[in-house]
Amino acid sequence: MPLMPIKYKDWSGIRTQYLTRLSAILYRVINASFSSKGILSIFIIGIVLVHAFPGVVLVMTPHARLTAWMLVGEGFFGWSYLTSGLFSIFIFLLSAGVTSNLISQDMRNRSFVIYFSRPIGVTEYIIGKFGGAFLVMAAFCLLPTIVVGLMIMATQTGPQYGEGFGVLLLTIIAGSFASIFFLPYGMMLSSLTKRKAYAGIGTFMSLFSLTIIGEFFAGFSPHWKLVNPMNILHYSFELIYGFGLPLDIDGRLYVLALFLFLVPPFVITAWRVKIKEEES
């Protein structure tokens, strides 16, 4: 009896259950982040030092309403809540810890084969990883700043709340921006190595080096300050709250520095993941 050939037809349907797959990636990133003792320690210490203590100080300081100056201005003995440097340092440390294992682990244990053997592409993979890291960072950068803003409004002595709600909206924008600021750079380094330690240390040392270089050469030209990622973040906070850039900083160079810090790392990450998809 002759064998009948099996004829296969190309599947031309639409991939479904994207949200289910994305939520699985999100959950894995969040669970892995908060399961790490190092990340959890940085998170708890940062909440206390960056948000709890300053929040108490701001609440106890006499105030008629919530203003932008209370959050980004040096109004309390030369100290600023969002731009004093402590906030940026903990964002930097936390993002380095979160992104260090984001892609490198998948490269090390060959999880790419599992990811891309299912109907999921590079875009969905990156969105899932970035989204999970963003949620972890938002738990530190966004939610506590909103709570501090609400606490200040709840203890104000003045009857006007309109300006306070406007500042609170700007705080949501600033907290969201802070949550994503270091992620593209960290994801890029995580996609370049299979070792978590290399990615984490590489992120920390390279950003620290940029900080040192920027501050050292700022004595020759103020535009060197834009090499320092911390300064870019602080200038962004000031722009969001309507204070503008320092007079000695060119706005076009600021936009260029912000673009170079955010966009090329994202492109390199997508390129690396695309290569891994093809190899899988």
52-106 pLDDT per residue, tens: 998 888 888 888 888 888 888 775 556 788 888 889 999 999 999 999 888 887 7
- The confidence score (pLDDT) of residue 14 equals 52
- Reading the block at residue 109, the tokens are 């244990």
Percentage of the chain lying above the pLDDT 70 cut: 86
Match 């609170």 to its residue by tokens: 168
Least confident of 73-77, 102-106, 227-231, 254-258: 73-77
As a whole number of angstroms, the distance between CA 236 and CA 177 comes to 9
Is the confidence at residue 278, as pLDDT, over 80? Answer: no
* CA nearest neighbour of 33 among 81, 109, 88, 105: 105
Q: What is the pTM of this model?
A: 0.86
As a whole number of angstroms, the distance between CA 234 and CA 237 comes to 5
Match 């992120």 to its residue by tokens: 203
Bigger pLDDT: 205 vs 12 = 205
Three-class SS of residue 154? helix
Mean pLDDT of the chain: 85
Specify which residues 76 forms β-bridges with.
79
- Environment class of residue 248 by beta-carbon count within 10 Å: exposed (0-12), middle (13-18) or buried (19+)? exposed
Bigger pLDDT: 3 vs 176 = 176
